[in-house]
């Protein structure tokens, strides 16, 4: 179990290094790829998750997926909290690494970029704040995400799952990510949000825990549970 927990920690950290890293790269002053835009960022998220899955293999890197696997009987319930904690801590560690890499750019951007934008480099936020609708969006996005992964995982050809999951992330980001930024993952949002709260970043806003706990925190679990029950009941997938 220790080996798996370390894999979940490192896999999540690597995912966040790619994801938070690309946001810093496209937004912060003085980077080589500043202004590259959302297509650049969403593509990097998708490719980054693919690479993390290729390196670390059979990992969830998402507490919502851990919940789905527990509901389907593929993981014992005793693993749920340790796996989820390892993933959130991986999200914190990955964010700290990105902050170290971009420390000079954070400093250069302190008087130019708004505190809200700085926070959004780490964590997700809604384009229009409407908490019930934001909750629905994250729940539905996660439903599609977990259902898609469960379907892709039935294909046993080597290499298909990491590539398929990356394409799934890319498609969800393009088609469904506009309202909330498609967290779909407590570790993806909470880990970087914790890092944002504790790092000595100049000119930063509060970490908006109300949104962070309610929307990217709780909604993905509901979406994952619905996906697990639907895929098992309709397709017989475990």
Residue 197 has pLDDT above 90, yes or no: yes
Q: Which residues contact 179 (CB under 8 A, 6 or more apart)?
A: 126, 127, 128, 133, 134, 137
Residue 184 has pLDDT above 90, yes or no: yes
Torsion of CA 5, 173, 31, 48, to 10 degrees: 30
- The pTM of the full predicted model, rounded to 2 decimals, is 0.96
Which percentage of the chain shows pLDDT scores above 90?
Answer: 98
Mean pLDDT on 155-168: 96
Quickly state the pLDDT bin for 113 (edges 50, 70, 90): very high
Quickly state the pLDDT bin for 172 (edges 50, 70, 90): very high
Nearest to 108 by CA among 193, 201, 205: 201
DSSP summary character for residue 43: H
Between helices 186-198 and 115-122, what is the axis angle to 10°?
130
Q: Are the beta carbons of 126 and 182 closer than 8 angstroms?
A: no
Buried b (16+ CB within 10 A) or exposed e, 86-108: bbbbbbbbbbbbbbeebeebbee
Average pLDDT in the chain: 97
Mean pLDDT on 191-197: 98
Residue 1 has pLDDT above 90, yes or no: no
* Sequence-ordered alpha helix ranges (H) in 28-123: 38-56, 63-71, 80-101, 103-109, 115-122
Q: Which residues contact 158 (CB under 8 A, 6 or more apart)?
A: none
Two tokens, residue 118: 């700085």
**In the prediction, which pLDDT does 203 show?**
85
Mean pLDDT on 119-134: 98
Task: Summarize pLDDT for 61-86 with one digit per residue, the tens.
Answer: 999 999 999 999 999 999 999 999 99
HEC sequence for 202-225: CCCCCCCHHHHHHHHHHHHHHHHH
How far does CA 166 lie from the centroid of its chain? Answer: 12
Task: Summarize pLDDT for 15-45 with one digit per residue, the tens.
Answer: 999 999 999 999 999 999 999 999 999 999 9
């Amino acid at each position: 179990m220790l080996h798996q927990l370390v894999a979940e920690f490192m896999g999540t950290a690597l995912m966040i290094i790619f994801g938070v890293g690309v946001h810093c790269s496209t937004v912060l002053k003085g980077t080589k790829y500043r202004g590259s835009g959302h297509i650049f960022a969403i593509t990097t998220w998708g490719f980054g998750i693919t690479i993390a899955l290729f390196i670390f293999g059979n990992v969830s890197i998402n507490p919502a997926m851990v919940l789905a696997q527990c509901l389907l009987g593929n993981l014992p319930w005793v693993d749920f909290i340790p796996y989820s904690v390892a993933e959130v801590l991986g999200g914190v560690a990955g964010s700290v690494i990105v902050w170290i890499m971009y420390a000079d750019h954070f400093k250069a951007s302190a008087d130019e970029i708004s505190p809200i934008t700085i926070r959004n480099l780490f964590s997700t936020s809604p384009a229009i704040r409407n908490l019930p609708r934001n909750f629905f969006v994250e729940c539905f996005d996660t439903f599609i995400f977990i259902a898609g992964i469960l379907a892709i995982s039935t294909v046993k050809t080597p290499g298909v799952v990491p590539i398929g999951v990356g394409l799934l992330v890319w498609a969800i980001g393009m088609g469904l990510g506009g309202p909330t930024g498609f967290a779909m993952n407590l570790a993806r949002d909470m880990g970087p949000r914790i890092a944002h709260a504790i790092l000595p970043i100049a000119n930063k806003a509060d970490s908006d825990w109300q949104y962070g706990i309610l929307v990217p925190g709780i909604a993905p679990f509901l979406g994952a549970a619905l996906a697990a029950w639907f895929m098992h009941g309709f397709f017989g997938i475990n």
